[in-house]
Amino acid sequence: MSSDLGTLLRPVRTPLVIAGALQVVSALAGLVPFLAIAELGRILLGGSGDPWSAVIWAIGGLLTRLITIAVANAVTHIADAELQHDIRTRIARHLARVPLGWFTERSSGEIKKAAQDDVGAMHHLVGHAVNDLVAAVVTPIAALGYLFWVDWRLTLLILAVLPLFLGSYAVLMRGYPEKMTQYTAALTRINTAVVEFVQGIAVVKTFGQARKAHGRFRTAADDFAVFFGAWATSMTRVEAFASALISPAVMLLVSLGGGVWFVSAGWLAPADVLPFVLLGVGLTGPVLALGFGANSLRQARAAAERVAGLLAVEPLPVSARPAAPADNRIVFAGVGFSYDGRVDVLTDIDVVLEPGTVTALVGPSGSGKSTLAALVPRFFDVTSGTITVGGADVRDIAPADLYRQVGFVFQDVRLLRASLHDNIALARPGAGADEVIAAATAARIHDRILELPDGYDTVVGEGAHLSGGEAQRVSIARAVLADAPILVLDEATAFADPESEAAIQDALSGLIAGRTLLVIAHRLHTIAGADQILVLDGGRIAEQGTHETLLAAGGRYASLWNASSMEVAR
Amino acid sequence: MIRRLSRVLGAPYARPLRMHLAGLIVYAILQGLAFVLIVPVLRPLLRGDVDAALPWVAVLAGTVVACAAAYWIQAQLGYRLGTALSQALHHRIGDHLAALPLGWFTPARVGRVARMSSTGVVDIMGVPAHLLAPLVTSYVTPAVVVFAMIFLDWRLAVATLVAVPLVILVFRWTARLFAATDHAVDAAGVEAANRVVEFAQNQAVLRAHGRSDFDQLEAALLEQRAAGRKQLLRAVPGLAAAGLVVQALVTIVLITGVYLATSGPTVDAAALIALLVLTVRFAEPLMAAAELGAAVRMAGNSLARVDELLATPVLPEPATAGTFTTPGTIELDGVGFGYDSRPVLRDVSLRVPARSVTALVGASGSGKTTVVRLVARFFDTRTGVVRVGGADVRDLTTEQLMSQISVVFQDVYLFDAGIADNIRAGRADATDAEVAAAAALARVDEIADRLPDGYDTRVGEGGARLSGGERQRISIARAILKDAPIVLLDEATAALDQDNEAAITAALTALSRDRTLLVIAHRLRTVQSADQIVVLADGGVAESGTHEELLLRNGQYAHFWNERSRARGWRLTPA
């Protein structure tokens, strides 16, 4: 864990060292005014020396402290801002490389928490921890050294409260890491529940109790409060005691009371009480600040641990010596796949997709159609066997090359909150306006875009509220512009929006011409003309052939076809 | 800020908050007194008069014990308040969200609300627990000291008082600098958070288009860094100035004191030194106040955002429950509505008799979904009236209206829980047998049989692990379980495979038995068999009637029917 932290913090090590050094100067300079006033006391009570030089020392000390502390803080905070940005960028880059399956196991709320909240929580670690720590160590040590020099017996008396404090603090820290983990988990649950609550608000409104928050959100909030309440109650009793013990008032009583005692016993000159009253009281201040900060520090460390954990997620391996596909021929050889390692979703898939042909995947829900299609663009890696494109294993092809080769039109369209131009030019960010317009025109969406307030510059979700069919045509325009020779297509897209079916179908017909096509089919008659039809059942290829040969065989496909023909006839 | 905290928390927490504050102030005053007692103890002591100092040491001891006790009590109160606060805030935010009109929920707000209810609430929780105590003591304690100084040595008191307004001014200025930039920092954080969620949710699309980068996210992150830097650049001079002012104060007192001491025998050296000790000691908490004040302001901004949310008007609710004169009916009378300045519905009137099926048909953007939303009162109409069961929906309490209707959405959102849990969302107190029965009617049992953990299989965020047809079947089961007399149905548009098609037909048949159905119909069979078809166009009702009547009329519906029939025959590749 500490090595994770070390790695994360490496970029800011130099600024942290500089800040630490400045903080040492600042802590020492901070003691000077106190010494000067003690000296002033001696002088004014009849000692020798110039009172004004003590004043100058005091002011000089104050100024030095002010400057060094300001610079140290500025240095750490600038480093912190840089580091946060650096880590967030690294997280974003890393997310783009982890297997897609990783995302289905997690809510986007969790990912958001790591990239935003956790990185933000590290602020204390970089911005304050070093400064606070140095101050908390250097100030008391230097002050104690001086006080020992003045009178070691009274110093020991003042220190007597420390073991009590440390003892209660040790009690406080028992079981802390476990509690902290629970705390974070409870907070994450709230995060997840609220995202779900807000995204599913329509369901909450109609099915939940009227005007009551979503049950899961309430449960998460209550759990958090109950947990935190129990924890805080047990902790604050001790913590408040410990803090009271080293509070300035108690320290004042010990220093002053001790001073009176020592003077009356004749162990100490009256003027020598001054340093103890001045420094003894402030001895615990930085320690107290450290205590206040300790909570933030632990949270920061826990956050850093989670961030490091996220960055440590194994990315989808990329070949060191990438192979280039020779053509558009796709070969599945003995492919097997399982999402969880428990249940095989695909078993022994052997099939060849010749360039320029259409292959349709047919079968009931859960037969593995969508999974099979998702393996070609390497959304997941096969569990066994290989998939090659143009003779190269998809795992050996550089991702950029693979995606240039394979396009994908999904059933559930996702448009980005970006301009329509950027949405269509997703695969080719540098595409010109004319190319984007040509693609939109081919996808039968150009006219609709022109109706939007800012045309192609309208931002989806802000100025543009597109219907399902319109969004689908934007996604087809994307594929047109991407112009990948291999296309994986969900046939359902053709029927995404019944009111614009004809337009979508025209757009699709234009898109698929001349490409190698892998189609997830739901309606058999749509793909009856395919070059090859694969009937999947339970993750295996049950039948394979053209519409005619499969009908003639009189197997599963034939009975599906007969059932669907009756549907159409009705 | 304390007033706002009290308002956001609501009346039940006003007393605990006052108690905590009172405890804090008592503690701070006692601490100030303890410091002031330095003077009567030190003055005789420095002259070597231990006997005169001793009684004051006793007074000091008493004050310190009282002070420690006050500290302990206020800390307990503060933590208890902080805990109560998290629960109260979450509940108030949650309940308010549930009552807001649906139109409020734009995608950008998801991130905002998530941030508010996690880190935002934690920020606010810290106010009583960690921030209020140091803040109050760092102002009240020095104030007590300054006040006492007036009686101890008026000249030094004047020197201090001269600097006080300056200190206050500079502190205010510093805090304002922070607060001003904090809005920008927060806005940048929200945008970046939204982009991260978007980035994660769109991974499949982005990768399929060869994009491992996402310009919008990178821009948002850069903006976040810029906002942080800007805050830093503006805050550092403020903090430095605050430090400088406090030191100026110490310096003035120091110089005045030494001047008084050296210019003549008018001042008691022992008293002077005691006062100087007091001055340097009390200056330090003031320094801390500048930094803390900023932190409190930032928590204050979180509080302001919650306050703002709670102040967003909710859909008005009648004080008394309305009455249903014709249960099971839906009626729209001259309804006009638009989400923004552009009207979606201009003048829509239609009647759905009890226990009948009405299909809404029309081009995309013709307002079919809007009609359904208005019936469920996700929004209020601009003009005209929507009646459910004969009563204006605005005269019904939310409980009443929701007891009448179930909604089956097109974009079914399932919670990341088990299938059974998602069905049970329709009626929380349903028995397992009732859930199973509803599941069987909607043929969800087939889905559960196929999945490894059956009804306990988690469906993923939003139901991501199921197909669209499967999601809709679960949502139908939910509506069957709820058993409301009216069902509003937005049929799934995605093409369904044989299994789902047959299953949904069966499920809808089960659902429409003995219920009123208003359906945005996408499947031709649903349209064809409806008791009434309403064709929407140009913000109004273009035609209505049965399938046969409308075909004979040869108008928009006939055209729509022919187009759809042709589209059904479309083939991806010519046979």
Confidence of residue A545 (pLDDT cuts 50, 70, 90): very high
Quote the Cα angle for B1-B7-B8, to 5°: 90
Residue B363: list chain A partners with CB under 8 A. 499-500
**Of A164-178, A370-384, B210-224, which has the strongest mean pLDDT?**
A370-384
Find the CB nearest B209 among A33, A470, A478. Answer: A478
Fold of B2-310: ABC transporter transmembrane region fold (1.20.1560)
Q: Indicate yes or no: CB of A196 within 8 angstroms of CB of B41.
A: no
More confident site: B502 or A460 = A460
- Three-state SS for A220-236 is HHHHHHHHHHHHHHHHH
Residue A473 has pLDDT above 90, yes or no: no
Total-model pTM = 0.72
Contact call for residues A488 and A407 (beta carbons, < 8 A)? yes
Q: Indicate yes or no: CB of A108 within 8 angstroms of CB of B71.
A: no
Report the pLDDT averaged over residues A380-405: 89
Residue B235 has pLDDT above 80, yes or no: no
Residue A331 has pLDDT above 80, yes or no: yes
More confident site: A496 or A471 = A471
Dist. CA B384–CA B335, nearest whole Å: 4
pLDDT of residue A570: 45
Q: Does A429 touch chain B (CB under 8 A)?
A: yes
Quote the Cα angle for B21-B23-B25, to 5°: 70
Find the CB nearest B117 among A190, A201, A519. Answer: A190
Interface of A with B in 106-135 (CB under 8 A): 107-109, 111-113, 115-117, 120
Confidence of residue A540 (pLDDT cuts 50, 70, 90): very high
Q: Using one digit for the tens of pLDDT, what is the confidence trace for A491-538?
A: 777 666 666 677 777 788 878 878 898 988 877 878 888 899 999 988
Report the pLDDT averaged over residues A539-558: 91
Kindly report the backbone phi and psi dihedral angles of residue B317, in degrees, each rounded to the nearest multiple of 5, phi listed first.
-125, 135
Shortest CA gap A570–chain B (Å): 9
Contact call for residues B486 and B330 (beta carbons, < 8 A)? yes
Confidence of residue B332 (pLDDT cuts 50, 70, 90): very high
Residue B525: list chain A partners with CB under 8 A. 570
Least confident of A136-140, A165-169, A436-440: A165-169
Confidence of residue A209 (pLDDT cuts 50, 70, 90): low
Secondary structure class of A178 (helix, strand, coil): helix
Q: Indicate yes or no: CB of B196 within 8 angstroms of CB of A115.
A: yes
- Three-state SS for B257-313 is HHHHHHHCCCCCHHHHHHHHHHHHHHHHHHHHHHHHHHHHHHHHHHHHHHHHHHHCC
Secondary structure class of A171 (helix, strand, coil): helix
Query: Among residues of chain B, what percentage have pLDDT more than 90?
Result: 15
Shortest CA gap B553–chain A (Å): 20
Confidence of residue A567 (pLDDT cuts 50, 70, 90): low
Dist. CA B487–CA B519, nearest whole Å: 8
Q: What are the b/e assignments for A535-548, b being 16+ CB within 10 Å? A: bbeebbbebbbbbe
Q: Indicate yes or no: CB of B276 within 8 angstroms of CB of A37.
A: yes
Confidence of residue A73 (pLDDT cuts 50, 70, 90): confident
| Domains of chain A by start residue, with CATH | 3-311 (1.20.1560.10), 330-569 (3.40.50.300)
Q: Residue A553, Cβ neighbours under 10 Å: how many?
A: 13
Report the pLDDT averaged over residues A237-243: 80
Dist. CA A434–CA B477, nearest whole Å: 49
Least confident of B1-15, B33-47, B445-459: B1-15
Shortest CA gap B333–chain A (Å): 23
Q: Does A53 touch chain B (CB under 8 A)?
A: no
Domain ranges of chain B: 2-310, 330-568
Q: Using one digit for the tens of pLDDT, what is the confidence trace for A480-500?
A: 888 889 988 887 776 666 666
Dist. CA B122–CA B82, nearest whole Å: 9
Shortest CA gap B115–chain A (Å): 8
Q: Which CATH superfamily is domain B330-568 in?
A: P-loop containing nucleotide triphosphate hydrolases (3.40.50.300)
Q: Residue B326, Cβ neighbours under 10 Å: how many?
A: 14
Q: Indicate yes or no: CB of A66 within 8 angstroms of CB of B240.
A: yes
Q: Indicate yes or no: CB of B273 within 8 angstroms of CB of A37.
A: yes
Confidence of residue B492 (pLDDT cuts 50, 70, 90): low
Which has the closest alpha carbon to B228: A82, A166, A257? Answer: A82
Number of H helices and number of E strands within chain B? 21, 10
**Closest residue, chain B, to A358 (C-alpha):** B573
Shortest CA gap B504–chain A (Å): 14
Shortest CA gap A8–chain B (Å): 18
ipTM above 0.85, yes or no: no
Mutate to test the interface with B, among A188, A207, A224, A467 (most CBs of B within 10 A): A207
Q: Indicate yes or no: CB of A417 within 8 angstroms of CB of B200.
A: no
Q: Indicate yes or no: CB of A40 within 8 angstroms of CB of B276.
A: yes
- CA dist B185 → A120, B179, B225, B226 (Å): 11, 10, 9, 9
Q: Indicate yes or no: CB of B47 within 8 angstroms of CB of A270.
A: yes
Mutate to test the interface with A, among B123, B263, B573 (most CBs of A within 10 A): B573
Q: Indicate yes or no: CB of B207 within 8 angstroms of CB of A379.
A: yes
Dist. CA B490–CA A468, nearest whole Å: 13
Q: Mean of the per-residue pLDDT values for chain A?
A: 84
Report the pLDDT averaged over residues B356-381: 86
Q: Which residues face A353 on adjacent strands? A: A330
Confidence of residue B287 (pLDDT cuts 50, 70, 90): low
Q: Which residues face B107 on adjacent strands? A: none
Given CA atoms A152, A157, A158, A159 in this order, what sign does their dihedral have? positive
Q: Using one digit for the tens of pLDDT, what is the confidence trace for A294-318?
A: 667 777 887 888 888 888 888 878 8
Contact call for residues A480 and A431 (beta carbons, < 8 A)? no
Shortest CA gap B437–chain A (Å): 18
